Amino acid sequence: MIPASKRSEGVSYAIRDVILPANELKKKGIEVLHLNIGDPNKYDFDTPQHMKDALYQAALDGHNGYTPSEGYLELRQAIIEREKRRNHVDYTPDDICITTGVTEGLQTYINASLNPGDELLIPGPTYPQYSLITRFMDAEPISYRCIEKEGWRPDVDHIRKLISKRTKGIVLINPNNPTGALYPKRTINEIIDIAGEFEIPILSDEIYDDIVFDEEQHATASLSKDVPVVTFNGFSKVYLCPGWRMGYTMFHHRGELAEVEDAFMRIARSRLCASSVCQLASIAALKGPQDHIKKMNDKLRERRDFSVKRLNEIDGISTAKPQGAFYIFPKIDAMEKKIWKDDKAFVLDLLKESHVLVVHGSGFCSTYGKDHFRAVILPPMETLERAFDKLEMFMKKRLN
């Protein structure tokens, strides 16, 4: 038996790992209600038609070869125009790189900036790739607490306490995956102040920036005057095309990140480029009609409100109200009764008995995510209603 690498031993991805037992049920002809994965296109959302047309036309027009490694200039210019219009932040084309989704941008940045033993402060709970990729590079992800009773707002005092000589960045995910939190301007400014005091950059994941329900999202770079900010964004969520794998990374600084940015671009050149036709279709996304965003948010707001009300009616479950993205992160209050060994056992038990698939909260942070689960609010109302009815029956059986 040829052994796998030591580096691969700790690799797991909770969001997709739970699909494996669900697939076994489906092989038996059992219907599974999926509330596990943040893919709008798996439900009743679809990529805007003008983007599909642009993708098809790009292929017909022969744009099927390689592109510049940093991405087509026209696409980077369109991103610059969006940032100026939406966030009042100025970028140059040289400070932007088109990536194969946000994940590749994150992988490339961590490769370019972290050495073994370095530390990256990440939200607790967080999108799993931040801890996974950091560990894969032999660096250390350090989770800072987000306060559930305050809508999962980052604990700024805890961030300050965690900073050490090895800290090489503070991650913000706003709106947040998995909690749906939307960070207040004051909180972002406080974190910027800490980063400036300790001369470390902020990594700001803003892939859900236009998916908000009650208040606007504030881009970190728009609030930072002299603290370097690396922003990860893309088209998967707001523009409903996750399978296209279109992301981009933007560097906003006054020279502090010059070496890291150069390393990032060199690594980007080594991996060739992102999809040519999808890049051209992404230009159409930015320059074409934007009316699908309001329609999407209106549907999600209704589903958010229903989900919050319905989950808080279930004995043994409680939840904060998400303000953005399309996730909800309920607490399993009944864990106190020691019915399940941990939240993953709860999730697998719910799947096996009620055929509802969610993701265990500890998969997003073993400390601040435990005893929770993440669900999506993407399904149509009738699907959500069925799923929550099944969850309520499940809880009643376990608690009686």
Q: What pLDDT does residue 5 have?
A: 84
Give the residue-averaged pLDDT of 328-338. Answer: 96
For residue 233, pLDDT beyond 90: yes
What pLDDT score was predicted for residue 6?
Answer: 82
Report the distance separating Cα 63 and Cα 283, nearest Å: 14
Owner of token pair 């306060």: 147
Residue 37, SS3? coil
What confidence score (pLDDT) does residue 8 get? Answer: 79
Q: Which two tokens stand for residue 133?
A: 């990729």
Q: Is it the case that residue 164 has pLDDT exceeding 90?
A: yes
pLDDT in tens, 349-390: 999 999 999 999 999 999 999 999 999 999 999 999 999 999
Q: What angle separates helix 381-399 from helix 343-354, to the nearest 10 degrees?
A: 110
Quote the distance between the C-alpha of residue 13 and its chain's center.
13
Query: Does 307 score more than 80 pLDDT?
Result: yes
- Please give the distance of CA 392 from its chain centroid, rounded to a whole number: 28
Segments making up each domain of the chain, as ranges: 6-46+291-399, 49-287
- Distance (Å, whole) CA 307 – CA 314: 11
From the centroid of its chain, how far is CA 145?
17
The token pair that represents 39 in the structure block: 């893919």
Strand 96-100 relative to strand 246-252: parallel, antiparallel, unpaired? Answer: antiparallel
Architecture of domain 49-287: 3-Layer(aba) Sandwich (3.40)
% of the chain at pLDDT higher than 90: 92
Distance from C-alpha of 54 to C-alpha of 194, rounded to nearest angstrom: 44
User: pLDDT by residue (tens digit) across 170-180?
Assistant: 999 999 999 99
- Cα–Cα distance between 381 and 152 in angstroms, integer? 25
Helices (H), the chain: 14-17, 19-27, 49-60, 73-87, 101-113, 128-136, 156-162, 185-198, 220-223, 258-270, 276-287, 291-312, 343-354, 381-399
pLDDT digits (tens, 9 = 90+) for 195-222: 999 999 999 999 999 999 999 999 999 9
Q: Count CA within 13 A, CB hemisphere, residue 154.
A: 33
pLDDT, residue 14, reads 67
Residue-wise pLDDT tens digits, 337-347: 999 999 999 99
What number is the average pLDDT over the span 55-59?
97
For residues 49-55, average pLDDT = 98
**Listed residue (119, 120, 116, 118) closest to 138, CA to CA:** 116
Amino acid at residue number 153: R
CA distances from 154 to 107, 147, 368 (A): 24, 6, 12
Average pLDDT, the chain: 96
Closest of 340, 345, 343 to residue 330, by C-alpha: 343
Per the DSSP assignment, residues forming a β-bridge with 373 are 360
Phi, psi of 331 (to 5 degrees): -95, 135
101 pLDDT more than 90: yes
For domain 6-46+291-399, give the fold: Aspartate Aminotransferase, domain 1 (3.90.1150)
- What confidence tens digit (pLDDT) does each residue in 248-281 have? 999 999 999 999 999 999 999 999 999 999 999 9
List phi, psi (to 5°) of 173. -125, 110
0.85 surpassed by pTM: yes
Is the Cβ–Cβ distance between 124 and 144 less than 8 Å? yes
